[in-house]
Structure 1
Amino acid sequence: MRTIVSPTDFSACAKYATDAAAELARRQGATLHLITCLDLPSGWDSMSQEQQALQPRALEKSQAAQRQLQELGRSYTGLAVETRVMPLPVRTSLNAYAQSQSADLIVMGSHGASGKQEYFIGSNTQRVVREVHVPVLVVKAPLPDLNFDKVVFASSFHENEREAFLRFKELVKPFVPEIHLVEIHTSSLFDPPYILSHQALEDFRGLCAPFRCKTHILRNYSVDQGVRVFADEIGAKLIGISNHHRHPMKRMLAGSNVEALVNHADIPVLSIDLPIVPNENPVPG
């Protein structure tokens, strides 16, 4: 892992995320990129210094934010830190920046949401998870002792989810973790037969080496609830989930397991994006 990007609005919640990103960058030997997004004139990034100077209020705002980013970066001693001020919206600028820097990971904070906001408005974090095709680690609380030594990876364990799991394993590798592979059945028509789920889990167990690994097939009325209850029961420090993309209408009607976990989980959630596969059953996420 070489490049970790962490967006901030300088709130306490965002600071939890940038602190976690800095610690991960330190452990991985990666460069930390701190960015913030402001309401700036269209095309601000492509303007020359002379053009920006013609809009003094925007320039002053941009320069003040840059100073805040640099001050934050200096607080993370012993790290290589880059800073960047970009225009809103967050998801668009963050996606462009992450792609331009070949980012390995985005770390960002979230307050969560409830009710209709989850499906119709959504938070910046939800939209980033939905639209930015880079693994996203969502942090909601301070992590003074960043230690992902017991982790959950929730999936339907299809063959094409191996890449997502291996990315997850790479991130947690420095913590020498105990890995729990979890599949949640919800009594729906999409649930595979138990014997097939068991075989798929055993195949993925082989990918866990050299780490300790346990497999679980559980039942709950929703994937989100099942994963969170299990993670709480075992004292997990991190939840990983492969991020299958859904049609927006399906997301609105049935919900997204990834976005629900991002909203409701108390511990960090790592959403790992996967390429869109035509006609694939959207389970889980």
Structure 2
Amino acid sequence: MEMKQLLVPVDFSDCSEYALEVAAQLARKLNGTITIFHMMGVSESVLAKSELYEQEEAKYYMNLAKEKINEYTNKSYLMGIPVKTVIQNYKVFEEVNKVAQEQQIDLIVMGSHGSRGFSRLFVGSNTEKVVRSAEVPVLVIKKPHHDFKVENVVFACDLEAENRAAFQKALDFSNLFNAELQLVYINTEGSNFLNSRQIAEKVADFTSIIGNSHKVNIYHDFSVEQGIFNFAESISANMVVIPTHGRKGIAHFFKGSIGEKMANTVKLPLMTIKI
């Protein structure tokens, strides 16, 4: 799994810069390149005006975007890293995947403005829209990481066979950094609760697919989201990776477990890998 070509969507917010700085550290570590992508989002009301007015207006917004992107490309942490920029008049966040395909991107790194709980980080947000449509992994960054580390990574899934490819990608990514990858299954109370025998069967089935050398951690909690981050905190993980189901969105991974039970702000970097 190569991570040479990184795409960073920017809206010139602080979160965008957090993502760009992390992307720079990854690119420097992996001898990669960065493509900075900005969506102008010029409204249809502007485009509906006269052709001359349209050209002048579009030129104004393009120049403004170029000026702002130049501020980004001149950041000291980007020195020595090949960087190119793409500016498009897209307004739909699913278009990020189109740019990723055109630029042969390996990883999308983007900031998130989400602030409360795991579900709010995604559901209904622009981040969710990118995650749903992206064919490549997406790394979500929520705070500054001036010294970004990939040393202890958590891969959380429901141990179904369809997660095999996502697990392998997470393992390949971890290996790029000689990082430890911890596989975890969150056992929740209620209708999704599994007894010891059921868990043992589930673990045996999944490890027979991915290789019996991989240990599966079992963590019990009130919800999947709470369990993931409590487990990650307990082992001092610095990244979480989860599989997603594309069009079904992040909610499918959690099934009935999404709840506003997580009181703390999600701060860990989170990578999603489409099944």
Matched AA of 1:67: E
Pairing of 1:176-215 with structure 2 (within 5 A): 176-190=178-192, 193-200=198-205, 202-203=207-208, 206=211, 214-215=215-216
- In structure 1, what is the Cα distance between the partners aligned to 2:187 and 2:243? 16
* Other-structure match for 1:122: 124
Q: Does 2:96 align with 1:91?
A: no
Where do 1:168-247 residues align within 5 Å?
A: 168-190=170-192, 193-200=198-205, 202-203=207-208, 206=211, 214-245=215-246, 247=248
Structure 2 counterpart of 1:270, which letter?
M
Task: Give the Cα–Cα distance (whole angstroms) in 2 for the partners of residues 220 and 109 of structure 1.
Answer: 28
Distance 1:133 1:205, change over 3 A: closer
Identical residues among aligned pairs (%):
33
* TM-score, L = length of structure 1: 0.78
Cα distance, 1:64–1:120 mapped onto 2, change above 3 Å: closer
Pairwise CA distance, 1:4: 0.7
Q: In the alignment, residue 73 of structure 1 is paired with which amino acid?
A: T
**Aligned-partner SS, 1:127:** helix
Kept in 2, the 8 Å contact 1:205–1:215? The answer is no
Q: What amino acid maps onto 2:60 in structure 1?
A: E
Gaps of 5+ in 1: 275-285
Q: Distance in 2 between matches of 1:264 and 1:127?
A: 21
Distance 1:247-1:173 versus aligned 2 partners, 3 A rule:
closer
**Partner of residue 278, structure 1:** none
* In 2, Cα distance between equivalents of 1:147 and 1:81: 22
Aligned partner of residue 74 in structure 2, secondary structure = helix
- In structure 1, give the amino acid aligned to 2:228: V
TM-score (norm 2): 0.81
Mapped contact 1:70–1:83 kept (Cα < 8 A): no
**Which whole-Å deviations, capped at 9, do the CAs of 1:97-132 have from their partners, x for residues lacking one?**
0121221110001121559x9499722112211232
Displacement, 1:41?
5.2
Cα distance, 1:264 vs structure 2: 5.1
Task: Give the count of matched residue pairs.
Answer: 258
**One-letter amino acid matched to 2:140:** V
Mark the CA change 1:35 to 1:90 in structure 2 (over 3 Å): closer, same or farther: farther
2:21 aligned residue: 19
| Residue range with higher mean Cα deviation, 61-70 or 199-208 | 199-208
Query: Counterparts of 1:114 and 1:14 in 2: how far apart (Å)?
Result: 18
For the 8 Å contact 1:105–1:136, the answer to whether it is kept is yes
SS at match of 1:143: coil
CA–CA distance in structure 2, aligned partners of residues 216 and 8 of structure 1: 36
User: What is the SS of the residue equivalent to 1:91?
Assistant: coil
Residue 33 of structure 2 is matched in structure 1 by 31
Contact kept in structure 2, 1:154 and 1:182, CA below 8 Å: yes
| Distance in 2 between residues matched to 1:176 and 1:18, nearest whole Å | 23
The structure, 1 or 2, with the larger RCO (C-alpha pairs under 8 Å, 6+ apart) is 2
Query: CA 1:244/1:207 → structure 2, altered by over 3 Å: closer, same or farther?
Result: farther
Q: Say which is worse superposed, 54-63 or 189-198, in terms of deviation.
A: 189-198
Distance 1:195 1:101, change over 3 A: same
Question: Is the CA contact (8 Å cut-off) linking 1:91 and 1:132 kept in structure 2?
Answer: no
Structure 2 counterpart SS, 1:107: strand
Q: Does 1:269 align with 2:274?
A: no
Equivalent residues of 1:151, 1:177 under 8 A apart? yes
| Residue 10 of structure 1: aligned partner | 12
Aligned equivalents of 1:52, 1:236: Cα separation in 2: 55
Alpha carbons of structure 1 residues 169 and 220: separation in structure 2 relative to 1, 3 Å:
same
**Partner SS for 1:137:** strand
